[in-house]
Structures are given as C-alpha cells and as structure tokens.
A and B are shown apart, each in its own frame.
Chain A
Amino acid sequence: MKPTDTRDPDYYHKVVDCQWACPAHTPVPEYIRLIAQGKFTEAYLVNRRSNVFPGILGRVCDRPCEPACRRGRVEEEPVAICRLKRVAADHRDEVEHLVPQKPAQTNGKKIALIGAGPASLTVANDLAPLGYECTVFEAHHRPGGLMISNIPSFRLPEEVLDTEIGYIEKMGVEIKLNSRIESLKGLMGEGYDAVFIGSGAPKGKDLKIEGRDEAAANIHIGIDWLESVAFEHTKSIGKRVLIIGVGNTAMDCCRTSLRLGADDVKVMARKPRQFFKASPWELEDAEDENVEIIVNHSPKRFVVENGKLTGMEFELMEYELDEDGEITETRKAGTKIIPCDDVILAIGQENAFPWIERDLGIEFDKWGVPVVDETTHASTLPGVFFGGDSAFGPKNIIWAVEHGHQAAISIHKHCEGEALDERLPRGVNLASAKMGVNEWMYSNTYDGAHRRDMPLVDLKARLSNRKMEVELGFDAERIATEVQRCLNCDVQTVFEAPLCKECDACLDICPVDCLAIVPDGEEAALRASLKVPAANKDQALYVSEPLKDTGRVMIKDENLCLHCGLCAERCPTAAWDMQDADIFIPHVDNEAGKVAAE
C-alpha cells in the first residue's frame, strides 16, 4: 500500500473526529485543555474564532461533534463537548476588548446582509473588523433570526443571545430592525458592493387535509407559533395539544405548550422511533417533562364539531423492516381519533423568496431554491451570496456560521476583484508535545470516568416560567471530570520510519492494539493483519514507509487510538512522537493578510 502522506492537512484533521465533524471545524480538544487549566476566557476565544457564538451553541448546538467523538467508540458515551463549550462561556471574564474590534477607519466597501440570523451575523463578524461597512436588515424588532424566534428562552436565555450579538454590533455593524426587504432589486439600487442573503427558511409546511380550514383557529404552523410566543403575541394554548412531526422544532413546540398552560401534550409520529429527526437529547428533555411521543400514527383528518377543533383522526401504521432497518412495506391497520384542543404542525420548513425578482439574474431551480455554489456561496448573479438555511434548506446554527465564514471570504474576494475559487488551502502545523522524559504538554493519562449529566431545574419550577433556563450548567466536579474524558485526539502519534528498530515495544504497550509491523500488502490485507482487525472503514489506516531492517511496514488503525502516548514513551529511538496538530482553517482575515497563516 502507498505510504500515508501525513503532510495532507486532512489526514491529521480527520483523526480529530470532533473537529472534522464540526462544520466550522472548532478545535475542540484545544479548548477543552484550556478549560482544564481554568483558562475559560481563552477557551471562549478559541471557540469564538471558529463558531462565533459559543454561549449560544454551548446550549443549542446540533452537536455533530458528539456522535463523531472517539470516546464514544472507546467506551459508551462521547465527551460532553457542547456542555463544555457552555462552561467556557459561563465562566469567561469580560471579553469585549479581546474579540475583533471596530477598525479605525472603514475601507469604503458597503455590504448589505439580509436577515439578522447566525449566517449574516457571522459574515458581519468576519468582515467588519477588516473595514467593511456592514448593514444588516432584519424584519423583526429583535436580531437573532431563528435563534430568537424559534428557540425557546428556556433553552436559550435572551441575555446570552443579546451579549453575543452585541459583540458583533460593537464592531461597527449596523443592524436595521423592523426593516423587511420587500425587493432585492430596490436594495441593489442603493449602491452596495455585495449582498449576502441569510434570510433563513421561514416558511413552515402546512398539512392540507380534511378539516384544515374549518379548524384554522386552533391549528398552528410550528415555527410561526414559536415566533409568536417568543414575541409575546401568543400567551396561552389549550389543555390538550397534539404536535404533528417529530423533529427538533416539534420538541420546542411541545415543551413550549407545557409552559403556556397545556397539561396533556402528545407528539404524533408517523414512523417508529429510529426514524425520528429530533436529536436524542431533545427527545429525552421532552420526555423528561412528561410529553408523550406516540409512534406509527399518520394524520388523516382534523375532527371538527360545530366549527371547532375537537380532535384528530390518524391512520394506524404498520411497517416491515429489512435487515438494514429500511422500511420495505407499509400497511394501514385502522384509524383512531385522538381528542385535542390545539394542533401544532412541525413537519418541516422551506425557504421562500417572494421578494427576489426573477429577472435579476439569480437562477432558481424547479423547487424555487436558488442555485448556489457550495464552496463560494455565490449565486448566479455576481455580488449576491447566499448562506444559512436560505442557501441549501434547513440545517442548523453551526452550519449557518460556517456558511457565513465562507461567504465572507467570497465577498472579500469579490470586492478585491479576485477569483472566488482561489482560496487559501487548509494546513496543519505539527509541534512536538514532548517536555521531557515521559512528560507531555497534555495530560495523557486515560480517565475511565463516565459522561457527566446536566443538572436541571426542578420540573414544577421550570414549567411555571417560560423564560427560566432549564439546564443549570456544569458544576466544578462535572467540569473537572468531563475535561479529563477528552482523549486529546489533536495530539497526534507521528511516526518516523527511518528511526524504527522494530523492537515491538509500541505494539506491546498499545492499550487498544491499534499498531502492527507487518509485510506490506493491499489495504484489506493490512487491515486484517492487526491483532484486532481494523474493521471501521470510516477511520484511516496509517501505513509507514518500509522499515530498514526487514522492509516491513508499521501500520496504525486510527479508530480506537487513545492518544495516551504510551507508544512514544516506550519507543527507544523516538520514532514515535506525540505532536500537537494545529489545523489551520483559513478565514477571511487570513485571506486579507491581516492574520498570518501559520
């Protein structure tokens, strides 16, 4: 097999599963080490550079990092990465003077950003310190986009949102509230150098079945209803509420209903639990509040009596599954009426652009979705860029942030007259973590502790106040334990083949048997030749250059490596070394030369 090229920045990056899985590539192990040292402010700033909203995301991130976390493969559960992000935000000192600042003078370039959600705010965050004059247009009277209108305050307190948006405003970004853009053509006539569209996916899907129109007063579209609650137009709901759909919006709807007076809330799912779209922890939180989740019920009609909604009729579904868990057959086994006072529809949302004139040169596909380049975020009209949910449909905040970072690079290049696709490549910078004999600049011991749970406010207290944050945050014991669960995957095992004398010391000491010295061969044969065969194909197999004494190769299965450094401690020639891999993710300040690429 060809020896592994570890100079490819993606090789070591992939080993840091959490950072690789994070759309914004947050250097998770690095900030967890800072938290372990009590450097909460530094941990916050490391986070902020990547994900801009650590306080917000530390509460409500979709956490793609956690299912990816190596810890989950080594023992049962991943490191509570998201909880630790909140720890950094909760315990930081004042950072207002440490975040990027308003420049002494602007560069004269004017950027319009539509929608004050995470995508636009990230673009502004990246461009304003470089001198760009950013103006954000927001339809509502408060900035934040879905972070304020759709995420309930009991999950994300308004102060947290206001503080982190405040940092961006103080960079000189103007946020024009109550300023819905009704015509893109009109806006473009105002002399902006570029326009960024981060208007989200604001259109909740409706369910046009029998009884929909007659019972309209008691049928609500999930995201509109949440917004109405957030802006305090809606203050109550019936006692018995049915939520249709089982995604994260449904979870917010059912929990909000409980806080507005409902006491019998059922979430109705068409399919079995393994098909639910909601994150497992959001399901748990809802069930913890006694929300009942009912599977295999497909909506048939709204039951209306005397012009008023009294219930909903469902088809009872039965499914046949194959070995892979895919549905092969669907059967209907009768119907059932479930009485209710209100129904909330949370069955998805889509983007809508009634305010974009179709003759501007912005191409839309047959579903009305704009044609957007996945790397540059450029539309087919030069100078107009899309990001967040408005670009590729509903995703989540952390994706919107990454879109913002990438769009900011494109906007800068557009204004400089540079090619949008000639972007700085990612990089990797390795530095030995060795401090002395068997001393490393990270804690390499393996701590077998299990994942700490989040302490919550008492159920009765939390339901009595819609704005009371449910999660209390980690205490000192939880922080101290959880930080040690991180395996420091960014401290890489780096091998120098010419130094190896094939003494087997590393193979013998490896606690997860991920190393072997074997005759070279095809990848499948090499994977099978490990003491514990490398069956997880998603994880790379490292292959060294041929070794000098026997011509065999050193191989390493990256799957379960604990990054404990015992191979390096046992190596008599330092052929194995532990090296801190700093993954360089270029942002627009790197492109602009304001921050040197490492």
Chain B
Amino acid sequence: MPRKKIKFLVGAFMIILAIGFLIGSTINSTSTYFMTVSELHHNGMDNYYDAGLKVKGNVVDGSIQRDPQNSLDVAFRIKENDDILKVVYNGITPDMFNDGGEVVVEGTLAEDGVFHANTLLTSCPSKYEAEKEKGKTHPGSLPDFSGAQKPKVSPETLPKAKI
C-alpha cells in the first residue's frame, strides 16, 4: 500500500475515532432511563432516586390539581394498569394534557416517591390510530353535531345491532 494512502487512512481514522469518542463520552453523561409506570414499580423505585428518568403513563382521571395562587404549579398522578406515580410539575402544560391522556414526564424521582418533572410531553396529533382501536374520542377531534351524545367510536368495532 502506498505511503500516501496510509497517511489518509490514518487521518480519516483519527477523525472517526474523535467523533466516536465524542459520542461515547456524551451518551453516558446525558442518557436517561425510559420506562412505563409499571416497569418503574417492577424494577424497584429505590434504584432510580436522583437518576435521569423518563416515565410514560396515562393521567389518572380527576387527579390534575393546580395551585390556585399559581396555576403553573401542577400536581397529578399517572398510572399504568394499577401502578400509580405522583408527579409534580412547574410550567405550562401542553394543550393536550388532560384526564386519561398519555404523557411522558422527564425529571427525577424523589425519595418520597414523588416524581419531579421538568418536562411534560403529550402524544402528538398524528397518533390517531391506537386511540381509535381503544374506542376513545381523540382529544383533538372536532365536536360532532349530527346527534346528541353519539359515541364517536369506530363503527367497525361496534356490533351492528347497536347502531
């Protein structure tokens, strides 16, 4: 192999190594665990105190409480099956943050079992299909004027006799 070629291979290799090192070192310092509420309970909550953590679950109906003095302080609970996690959050909540909605909270778990979220994400509008399967109204869908309280489930999923 000619010397020039070796020189370039070494040069390219060094660049790749540098980028690889940058990726490797950063990924450890910035990564967060991602799990659902049940997984968190299952893995043992005490293993994750003060670790970067992202938790997914559905907002428990009626659990959203805002501080009357400062509506930016929000406390709520999220659940999956029977596992429940208390969350506190300070900040603006997304428009789609609502009872029953799926949310992902990112933050840290305190030793009293309360999750201190610094970001709160709700699922995006294009996530229609799963909710349709569950027979739920999409939180963003327009109101229906054709009949009083007509259920907006996919007619496919209903037995024909009911329609």
A binds B: no
